Amino acid sequence: MKAETDSQELTRVGPGTVMGNFMRQYWIPAAKSSELAADGTPMRLMLLGEKLIAFRDSSGRVGVMDHQCPHRCASLVLGRNEQDGIRCIYHGWKFDVDGNCVDMPSVPPAQDFKEKVKAKAYKALDRNGLVWVYMGDRKEPPPLPMVEATLLEAGEVDISFMQRDCNWMQALEGDIDTSHFGFLHVGHLDPENVPVGHPLEHTASERAPEYHVRDTPWGTTYGAYRTVKPETIYWRFANYMFPFWTQTPQGEFPRNIQARAWVPLDDTHTMMIFWRQRDNGMSRTNLPLKDGKPLGGSRPQPDFLPISTEWLGRYRVKANESNDWLMDREAQRSNRIYSGIDHIALQDQAVTESMGAITDHSKEHLGPGDLMIARTRRRALQAARALRDGTPAPGVDAPEVFMAARSGYFEMHQSVDWQQAYETQMRSASRAPKVPDASRAAAGESAMAK
């Protein structure tokens, strides 16, 4: 990323921007369904730089709309959620979930013009415990995305939210950068202390993997590889999926049903939403080592600040720049925890937030381990610019293409081509309940782009 224009177009997501218009073609996961109660308090919701409100009406339908009343621009956050609509407390004008003005009690009946007034509203619905929002301009929204983990029902999946104070792309890039794991997360791990078969066995013994990277129908894929036996390759596959999805290799490939969405709240704040099928074979980095102790730095949960009604008041962690992300310098000096930060996600949080609100790409010097980063930036930007020039956004009208994406680790004989290794694992992969086998979902194409 050397050109200033490239960097600007990649990172800005507000209305009218190249990347913002691209993201608005897709359904966006925005909130937990449980955050909105019927006739409950309206919630401030920031998405793609727009200040919105979300509420659930008396019938259980979700409304998402501009927070400013189209009458005099008072905030509907203050509104009364009642009788299937949100009523502005300034003059009593009321709007349904589609933005239609349904009551204008401060206007004499003979002068009523409610049929001419409409709040800016977006399509919204619930699926499997999440509220999804479509912010595009289609009269009929496209299908919901078929990212496999999001199709799991509430009892089959764990979903967590965590806000990050930086641009969406630099937040996302931590998930498609496998070489940092051997340093940031487990730099203090002694290879001699790792049992055979432990999920970190090969990462500890070889901290400089090599890569293959490809464009795919859903975005980009990398295969990081290490030779672990004379004829055996240890593979770690991960994916970027349009427009802001990732799958990481922290799990056994056949059972690793998980995904993260890196939803831009605005240019400098991102909501990470993490889906993980329960008992999906995901690595437990706190499994005991040979000395019987868990890995340092793998505390199960970070500490969160209370939810507030501010625009950016949801799912904020206590660790931030003002307290150096709660870094323990003594733990760092003694090598008990390489980073000094006692939680894997907080370690990622610290390094990506420390880059600044939006990374200055002109200062970077990318290396061989950054192939997936460079390819993903280019792929996302090319797709966004193609939309601007008239080409439909990938996967919007054929969401099954995302079902061909899976991440995880496995070992295979070195004679097997890396793309064939991926295809072989996909054929043996377990699928989420009620989800069709879509290992070759790309309309007859190979699951890997040639």
> Could you write out the DSSP letters of every residue in 167-194?
-HHHHHHGGG--TTIIIIITTT--GGGS
Rg from Cα positions in the chain:
23
Give the CA-trace dihedral at 135, 141, 142, 145, to 10 degrees: 50
Same domain, 252 and 159: yes
User: Does an H or E element contain 351, and which?
Assistant: helix 344-354
Of 203, 148, 98, 8, whose CA–CA distance to 433 is shortest?
148
At 99-138, the pLDDT tens digits run 999 999 999 999 999 999 999 999 999 999 999 999 999 9
3-state secondary structure of 341: coil
Are residues 184 and 135 located together in one domain of the fold?
no
Q: Are residues 81 and 179 in the same domain?
A: no
Backbone angles phi, psi at 299, to 5 degrees: -55, 135
Q: Across 268-417, where does the E strand assignment appear?
A: 269-277, 408-413
- Looking at the fold, whether 259 and 374 belong to one and the same domain comes out as yes
| Angstrom distance (rounded) from CA 350 to CA 356 | 10
Stretch 223-242: mean pLDDT: 92
Q: Are 381 and 225 in contact (CB under 8 A)?
A: no
> Is 9 part of a structural domain of the chain?
no
Mean pLDDT value of segment 323-348: 94
Cα distances (angstroms) measured from residue 416 to each of 69, 107, 228, 447: 61, 74, 15, 16
CATH number at residue 111: 2.102.10.10
The answer, as to whether pTM is greater than 0.85, is yes
Query: Do 192 and 43 fall within a single domain?
Result: no
Mean pLDDT over the full length of the chain: 91
Are 105 and 166 members of one domain? no
Higher per-residue confidence, 36 vs 437: 36
- Interatomic CA distance for residues 311 and 302, integer angstroms: 22
In a domain, 447, yes or no: no
Q: What band does 295 get if pLDDT is binned at 50, 70 and 90?
A: confident
46 and 104 assigned to the same domain: yes
Give the domain extent around 118: 27-141
Average of per-residue pLDDT across 154-172: 95
Which of 119, 123, 161, 170 shows the shortest CA–CA distance to 144? 123
**Is 312 domain-assigned?**
yes
